[in-house]
Amino acid sequence: MTHRVEIHYCTQCRWLLRAAWMAQELLGTFDEIGELVLRPGTGGVFEVHADGERVWSRKEEGRFPEITELKQRVRDRIAPERHLGHADRKGEAG
Amino acid sequence: MTHRVEIHYCTQCRWLLRAAWMAQELLGTFDEIGELVLRPGTGGVFEVHADGERVWSRKEEGRFPEITELKQRVRDRIAPERHLGHADRKGEAG
């Protein structure tokens, strides 16, 4: 089964490269991902969805995710059995 | 109107970062793009689709595109009125 992850980012804020970096981090970590969608937006948006569920919102959290915690949240949604290595605290983001 | 561009790349060939680089080049150039999809694949695939039309196939062309010619082909499909600057030869890829 493949999964869809989407990164919705604000172009006015110049977050493209940040979003692209996170995209390749996620793709390099999860071979469960079938589609990684980069979606340009406006108004300070920075959200990540995994299979339609929002796993990060900068407006709600008040900050960007560390890449490790973003991977945990995506993992919890698309590959809950996976362990992510030494920085992993499974279920922390659940 | 927004457009969808998809980059289908071989993970076994380690083309993820190349694909991600092209993704951010296209997103930085075309605000007409509503979704830029990175799609992992196998078997040496490297294809780019714009609105469902294949605009590059490494197997057919025998090589990767220069970023300028990839932009021309995407432009011809999604924003034919756009001029891409000094390296542009409009319609060359048409």
Kindly give the parts of chain A with pLDDT less than 50. Answer: 93-94
A46-50 β-sheet, strand order:
A53-57, A46-50, A3-10, A33-41, B33-41, B3-10, B46-50, B53-57
Other Cβ atoms closer than 10 A to A91: 10
Please provide the distance, in angstroms rounded to a whole number, between the alpha carbons at the two ends of chain A. 21
The phi, psi pair for B77, rounded to 5°, reads -90, -40
- What's the rounded mean pLDDT across residues B10-20? 98
SS3 B63: coil
Residues 14-73 of B with CB under 8 A from A: 16-17, 20-21, 23-24, 27-28, 31, 33-40
Task: Look at B16 and A24 and tell me if their CB atoms are within 8 Å.
Answer: yes
pLDDT in tens, B16-56: 999 999 999 999 999 999 999 999 999 999 999 999 999 99
Q: List the single residue in B24, B34, B38 with the smallest CB-CB distance to A36.
A: B38
Say if residue B93's pLDDT is above 60: no
Query: What per-residue confidence (pLDDT) applies to A91?
Result: 52
Q: Which positions in chain B touch A27 (Cβ < 8 Å)?
A: 16, 20, 38, 40
Q: Which positions in chain A touch B35 (Cβ < 8 Å)?
A: 37-39
Nearest chain A residue to B41 by CA distance is A34
Query: CA gyration radius for chain B?
Result: 13
Nearest chain B residue to A36 by CA distance is B38
Best mutation target among A37, A42, A45, A49 (most B Cβ atoms within 10 Å) is A37
CA distance B63 to chain A (A): 22
